[in-house]
Structure 1
């Protein structure tokens, strides 16, 4: 994929949130996206047609993250009210409220079977929740971090998390082993490459770092954007050829994966770009911002 094939043209603007949008995420097939924000709501959209479908309201504070199951039937969300909500997508009903975090919850993800959700908290812990049982207690607590846990990714056998304590930690669920890679800078977002071999970490020194997942070796660093005080998403494009991320000045950046050059940058929003989500198959991306909009980008 050449840089000219990257999604840099605005296709739609999704409006409806009041205040900052903190996350926007495509669903598994890329036909829909979800957003959440300061206005305590989660919104479901058809980004390709620019249509708002549904609003989910139940959180008492801002909603910081949201994730949907591959079959689009259930949602999980978290935020400033210290709770993790498990929703029925079609009815908009909260099936369960998971409580246990002692402070704000920054991120949440389903495992691949949608049977367990894992949340990352300001209380320096990860908590796992059984979505199939009626219990609202965590089935696992990992509290080896020295500061707020900002981001979490799941593989079939591992929980991977990034923390303000400067580490990316990998927990092998089968054997109970923990591996810690210290990046020396506060980590505010992590994501996995599509081939599963690499971890991309956004750090608060305005640098994205690419790590080899098995060895923890630092493969590359990406710079040019500003990330010092906000949680900003980063991810790889669906071909793993480019890295993309937002900047506090409203710009989106694309870097070449291998040589780390900036191949494209453009003003996407009027304010901080909090979230980027790349389409699973097409050259398409959604971005969210403190400016209260979500924007859809295509080639």
Structure 2
């Protein structure tokens, strides 16, 4: 596995950048952090296209619809989810109902359904097409601790929790389909491998690649530092990447490193806690993009790697 290089280092934010995501095309990046601003950036040039202002507190989570027309953001102490019209750069809705910090958010492909996770131990599901004041569809309250991570598939809601569980819900009924116990607090859960696998990162520095069909662990990766912060990770078909509290981005080759779990690469570029790493959406299908990813850190910087 060759070493990714820094294509752009973005310095638009003041303070920690807590969340960063590609849109579905990979042409644009949305970033959010302690400066309370969501920024839209063109990934090929690093140019800022738009800034979205309105949050009263630092931004913790971002999610963008498949067509990039709708953006959901959550701002921790705001205890709310903000819904934006990307084209107009306008706040179109504020979803309130959580009683504590909101740390993560997910959005359906067409932007009609939003799920949010909070310190209040609930996942709340919202219908953005509803004209009702709150538009709340469901409250999922099985967790014994705060919700740290959310994923929406076409039929499921997948919630990682500080209580050490990853719960998969039927989106229509809200019924728990699968409840996986890992023991350590879960800080990140992502569906990878064309939906066949799940990547689960836990406090203490363990990342597991899990077969969703039977729940077995296919591989485990370690070496990064995750003891106090909600460090986000991701995987392509070939590699696993994670942020780390020591300021590095860690990379594992899935085939080569699955036996030992030791990292193949440790990338320098940040001077603070690396909060999140995300692969380019074309990493699995375009050889030119196989090493493309972004990272965001407490140093206020976002790095686009190629």
Shift of 1:15: 1.2
The 5-angstrom pairing of residues 191-206 of structure 1 reads: 191-206=190-205
Q: Which shifted more, 260-269 or 206-215? A: 260-269
Number of aligned residue pairs: 292
Q: In 1, Cα distance between the equivalents of 2:232 and 2:272?
A: 15
Note if 1:102 corresponds to 2:102: no
- Bigger mean CA offset, 166-175 vs 156-165: 166-175
Equivalent of residue 39 in structure 1, options 15, 35, 40 = 35
- Higher relative contact order structure (alpha carbons within 8 Å, sequence separation ≥ 6): 1
In the alignment, which residue of structure 1 is the partner of 2:286? none
Q: Is it true that 1:246 corresponds to 2:243 in the alignment?
A: yes
Q: 2:116 is matched with which residue: 111, 115, 119?
A: 119
Pick from 82, 87, 104 the counterpart of residue 85 of structure 1: 82
Residue of structure 2 aligned with 1:66, choices 62, 67, 78 = 62
Structure 2: distance between partners of 1:124 and 1:227: 21
Q: Deviations over 1:39-92 (max 9, x none)?
A: 111000012201011110111111111111121211111122101011111222
Unaligned segments of structure 1, at least 5 residues = none
> What is the match of residue 280 of structure 1?
281
CA contact (8 A) 2:223 2:262 kept: no
Question: Who is 1:157 aligned against?
Answer: 155
Q: Map Cα deviations across residues 147-192 of structure 1 (whole Å, 9 max, x no partner).
A: 0000001111111110000001111234543121000000011111
**Aligned Cα RMSD in Å?**
1.3
Q: 1:185 is paired with a residue of what secondary structure? A: coil
Residue in structure 2 matched with residue 186 of structure 1 by the alignment: 185
Report SS of the residue matched to 1:56. strand
Distance (whole Å) between structure 1 residues aligned to residue 162 and residue 59 of structure 2 = 20
1:292 aligns with 2:296: no
| Cα drift, residue 145 of structure 1 | 0.2
Structure 1 residue 280 displacement after superposition: 1.1
Runs of 4+ that moved beyond 2 A: 173-177
Contact 1:99–1:137 (CA under 8 A) maintained in structure 2: no
CA distance in 2, matches of 1:151, 1:288: 17
Report the counterpart of residue 218 of structure 1 in structure 2.
217
Q: Aligned equivalents of 1:202 and 1:23: distance in 2?
A: 16
TM-score in terms of structure 2 length: 0.92
Pick aligned residue for 1:173 from 171, 174, 199? 171
- Equivalent residue, structure 1, for 2:285: none
CA contact (8 A) 2:244 2:274 kept: yes
Find the aligned partners of 1:93 and 1:173 in 2 and give their Cα distance. 28
Q: Secondary structure at the match of 2:60?
A: strand
Conservation of the 8 A alpha-carbon contact between 1:14 and 1:52 = no
Q: TM-score by structure 1 length? A: 0.94
Distance 2:127 2:175 in 1: 21
* Alpha carbons 1:166, 1:184 under 8 Å: kept: yes
